[in-house]
Structure 1
Amino acid sequence: MSLQLPDKWIWDSWYVQVDGVTHAFYLHASKALGDPDRRHRHPIVGHAVSTDLTNWTVVQDALIISDAPAFDDGTTWTGSVVQDDDGLWWMFYTGTSRAEDTMVQRVGAATSADLLTWTKVSTEPLVEADPAYYEKLDLSVWHDEAWRDPWVFRFPGESTWQMLITARSSSGDPRVRGVLGHATSPDLREWTVQPPLSQPGQGFGQLEVFQFEIVDGVPVLLFCCGVSELSPERQAAGEAGGVYSVAVDARLEQVDFTGSVLFDRTDLYASRLLRDADGGWVLLGFINIVDGEFVGTLSDPIPVTADPVLGLVHRPVAGAAIAATAVADDALAAAAL
């Protein structure tokens, strides 16, 4: 079964797959809070492991907030994990501070030799929004300063590290300023904020929890957006919000979110692409709202592949294909009687 904690809500997650084991890092908070909306101010980064993406063993928590004063003494939110060339694991994560009422988001890091015990790099952030390109806190325009969900990776054969970030442009219609924030680093410690890799006005107030992968030969960007932060046009078209994807070029040089397609599992949010035991791609996210109630568990893996126009689509699995063939054969036999 999927990862479910009876006394806690789970939401955003990120993963590492190594030596046949999948490490899930995820945000969780106690249900003793009563209102699930309160979870955002009380998160802990949890950790669980699995060999099949369905049966999970919870291990010790990975991160909590720092003692004040620190950039992350308010919350520790979504991130990603990579391994450097010396074998050290780096977790990049979002932090906010109590001094700013958790309204300003910045990115920091922690390191680990074994993926279990993590040591924060600094009480200061490593990356924050540059007003030359990105919107800073202005509550008359937006409800926070968006600079979160760092997705860190390298293009094949290159030494420079890339970071994709949930961000908003400093210009354009405030309703659709969501852009693909970008920073680069030679060593994972020193980061240079770059101009966004997309333009504002492409249909989203913000684009959350990015992931870039080449799925079955198709370069794809995965992200999510809630219904209230969609463009008026997407809302008018009846989109429910959820998990989106868009096919892109392999260097992320011409990212255009206007062609983004909503995945049909609209109960999912903040999903991630992983490999199953057979090497196929699957999608895991948290179950968000069902029948008007927040659920807060991880989903079971959903087999997917990619289409150059539609982005992520369901991947037929052998059992389903056999069952579909059997149904069709039965229908033909019945018609022949």
Structure 2
Amino acid sequence: MAHKIADRWMWDSWYAKDGDTFHGYFLQAPKSLIDPDLRHMNATQRHAVSKDLVNWTDLGTSFEPQRNGPAWDDSTTWTGSVVQDDAGLWHLFYTGTRKSERSLYQRIGHATSSDLHNWTRVGTGLCLDLTGPNAGCYEIDHKDSGWHDRALRDPWVMKDPEGHGWLMYFTARVPGVPELNAGGAVGFATSPDLMTWTLQPPVFHGGFGQLEVPQVFQLGQRWYCLFCTAAGHWSEQYRRDNPETPLTGSHYLISDHPRGPWRIAPGPFLDGAEPCRRYAARIVEGPQGLVILGFADGGKDHFGGYVMDPEAITVNPAGLLHVAPLLQAAE
């Protein structure tokens, strides 16, 4: 059955597996806000566990903004990812914003845990900002382009398959692109130890105004980068390449290597609708095989605010993904 909390909206999610248990993390906000658009500035993180990605046991709030005085993440703690290091310690990487900047400038933070629920920030928590030699590869100030924020969010962290270090992908934008909807990017950073991160140039840009909630994974010999975007953020070029009526939901990039070059997957948009049905999806290997999970959207007037049941993902011989709703969903 769909994962719902009676008095909370839930939206973006990410997952970690410990043994045979899946740990799900979800952005949440109280429904007492009435207007679902207000949820973004009132977000904390909630934790639940499951054996099958369908039936969930709620464990309550697990992480929230810093409450004691001004801090770089005293406004919001948004979408992230969780990984385990070789010593068994769990690491949460998350998006943070500050009140003094009206939450317009995003940065990436870092916390650790031994139990996957109680998290302690590493130092101040801040681990990545748009600074250093490669900062000029990114749109550092949203006022330079007219975009609505300075994007550095939704970190996805994984082991480097070709070495002993770690890779981070994140939502970003590049400068100097005349069309706003062609400036979206998947940013990139590297680390030898999960503690010290070096900003690298983006691994992809173009196609959309933003590529939110990137998730990079390998299937067979191919690499995939799942992302979500809105119908209103399709670029002119992508509209020419894809004759579909623009949709809101999740699509993906495809590559032969995790560092790219990446290209937008050809063919139909993977998982979209207008108004949006499911957003901020993740693809997870569950007991029932490869599945996609995301939150029920429906637009402002019919906002779902819960995590939908998983639906099956298939891969055709050309390596292209397809959503096959074969699981019985109780939404």
Structure 1 length normalisation: TM-score?
0.88
The 2-side partners of 1:270 and 1:54 are apart by 17
The 2-side partners of 1:211 and 1:308 are apart by 22
The 1-side partners of 2:228 and 2:146 are apart by 21
For the structure 1 residues 88 and 309, does the alpha-carbon distance in structure 2 shift closer, same or farther, using more than 3 Å as the test? Answer: same
The 2-side partners of 1:309 and 1:274 are apart by 20
For the structure 1 residues 218 and 189, does the alpha-carbon distance in structure 2 shift closer, same or farther, using more than 3 Å as the test? Answer: same
| Match in the other structure for 1:186 | 192
For the structure 1 residues 230 and 297, does the alpha-carbon distance in structure 2 shift closer, same or farther, using more than 3 Å as the test? Answer: same
| Other structure's SS at 1:262 match | coil
Match of 1:252 among 251, 254, 259: 259
For the structure 1 residues 138 and 213, does the alpha-carbon distance in structure 2 shift closer, same or farther, using more than 3 Å as the test? Answer: closer
The Cα of 1:98 is off from its aligned counterpart by: 0.3
For the structure 1 residues 86 and 286, does the alpha-carbon distance in structure 2 shift closer, same or farther, using more than 3 Å as the test? Answer: same
| Match in the other structure for 2:65 | 65
| Match in the other structure for 1:333 | none
| 1:274 to 2:284 alignment | yes
* CA deviation string 1:210-262 (max 9, x = no partner): 11112355321100001222213546841112111132113332112374752
CA contact (8 A) 2:252 2:265 kept: no
For the structure 1 residues 79 and 258, does the alpha-carbon distance in structure 2 shift closer, same or farther, using more than 3 Å as the test? Answer: same
The Cα of 1:176 is off from its aligned counterpart by: 1.1
The 1-side partners of 2:305 and 2:55 are apart by 17
| Match in the other structure for 2:311 | 302
The 1-side partners of 2:326 and 2:232 are apart by 34
| Match in the other structure for 2:118 | 117
The 1-side partners of 2:254 and 2:147 are apart by 28
| 1:242 to 2:255 alignment | no
The 2-side partners of 1:204 and 1:38 are apart by 25
| Other structure's SS at 2:250 match | strand
The Cα of 1:311 is off from its aligned counterpart by: 3.1
| Match in the other structure for 1:103 | 104
> Which piece of structure 1 moves more, 247-256 or 10-19?
247-256
For the structure 1 residues 97 and 204, does the alpha-carbon distance in structure 2 shift closer, same or farther, using more than 3 Å as the test? Answer: same
| Match in the other structure for 2:320 | 311
> Which piece of structure 1 moves more, 131-140 or 113-122?
131-140
CA contact (8 A) 1:70 1:124 kept: no
CA contact (8 A) 1:245 1:260 kept: no
Q: Give the unaligned 5+ runs of structure 1.
A: 320-337
Q: Kindly, what percent of the aligned residue pairs are identical?
A: 40
Q: Which structure 2 residues correspond to residues 15-30 of structure 1 after superposition, within 5 A? A: 15-30=15-30
* CA deviation string 1:61-90 (max 9, x = no partner): 111110332111010000000011111000
| Other structure's SS at 1:295 match | coil
For the structure 1 residues 309 and 245, does the alpha-carbon distance in structure 2 shift closer, same or farther, using more than 3 Å as the test? Answer: farther
For the structure 1 residues 292 and 60, does the alpha-carbon distance in structure 2 shift closer, same or farther, using more than 3 Å as the test? Answer: closer
Structure 2 length normalisation: TM-score?
0.89
> Which piece of structure 1 moves more, 299-308 or 20-29?
299-308
For the structure 1 residues 60 and 291, does the alpha-carbon distance in structure 2 shift closer, same or farther, using more than 3 Å as the test? Answer: closer
The 2-side partners of 1:251 and 1:216 are apart by 13
| Match in the other structure for 2:166 | 161
- Rg: which structure is higher? 1
RMSD: 2.2
Q: Which structure 2 residues correspond to residues 164-243 of structure 1 after superposition, within 5 A? A: 164-173=169-178, 174-198=180-204, 200=205, 202-234=206-238, 237=243, 238-243=245-250
| Other structure's SS at 1:125 match | strand
* CA deviation string 1:310-333 (max 9, x = no partner): 7321358699xxxxxxxxxxxxxx
The 1-side partners of 2:168 and 2:139 are apart by 18
The 2-side partners of 1:283 and 1:134 are apart by 30
| 1:81 to 2:82 alignment | yes
Equivalences, count:
316
The 1-side partners of 2:78 and 2:86 are apart by 26
The 1-side partners of 2:58 and 2:3 are apart by 9
| 1:134 to 2:138 alignment | yes
| Other structure's SS at 2:5 match | coil
The Cα of 1:268 is off from its aligned counterpart by: 0.9
| Match in the other structure for 1:323 | none
* CA deviation string 1:158-190 (max 9, x = no partner): 211000010001222233111110000001111
The Cα of 1:123 is off from its aligned counterpart by: 2.3
One-letter identity of the residue aligned with 1:58: D
CA contact (8 A) 1:218 1:308 kept: no
